[in-house]
Amino acid sequence: MEEAAHVRGGMYWYAGPAASPDAKYLAHTTPAGAGTSLGARTSETEAIYARFTQRKRDSAARVAGLQAALVQAHRANVLQDSPGLSAVIVASNGSMARMNTVHTITFVTFKRWMSTQRERDAMKRRRDALQAEAVQELLDEYLPQLGD
């Protein structure tokens, strides 16, 4: 949190007074819009600006990573907290196996949720919605007791 406080607001170069229009000055702005001049353009103010913009980029990348991790955690929680479904499946050669998976209703709920996530690829969102719709139709038609 302390690191984030150092990159709040912004920095920009602005032109000097009319008497010296070629002069540039560095300003620091707060999130509320207030500004403070940090002085004329020198190697020191250029270094301040470079450090600030690098920390700002690093902070933005860290936030994006945390947001992605939050989405992943939410997905995992939805699936982990759901009731399970266990069934015996039979292969075309007659061999049998037990399949453990999330409950069908959870699958539909999860796929509907995935289809609303704006950061997800549009094609995948559409596929998620179609999968949820198809499974819901199968449930309604052939397994209505699961919807109770």
The DSSP result for 18-32, as a single string, is TTSTT-EEEEEE-TT
**71 Cβ contact list (under 8 Å, min separation 6):** 117, 119
Average pLDDT over residues 10-30: 91
Averaged pLDDT, 27-54 = 93
Q: Are residues 36 and 86 in the same domain?
A: no
Q: What is the mean pLDDT of residues 83-111?
A: 90
Tell me, yes or no, whether 131 and 88 share the same domain.
Answer: yes
Which structure tokens are listed for 46?
Answer: 């250029």
Q: Is the same domain home to 59 and 86?
A: no
Do 83 and 61 belong to one domain? no
**Alpha-carbon distances, residue 34 vs 11, 27, 39, 128 (angstroms):** 11, 10, 16, 46
123 shares its domain with 95: yes
The count of domains in the chain is: 2
Residue 74 lies in a domain: no
The dihedral sign for the CA sequence 46, 49, 55, 59: negative
Is residue 148, in this structure, part of any structural domain at all?
no
Domain that holds residue 110: 79-143
Q: Quick check: pTM over 0.85?
A: no
Please write the tens of the pLDDT for every residue from 37-46.
999 999 999 9
Same domain, 47 and 87: no
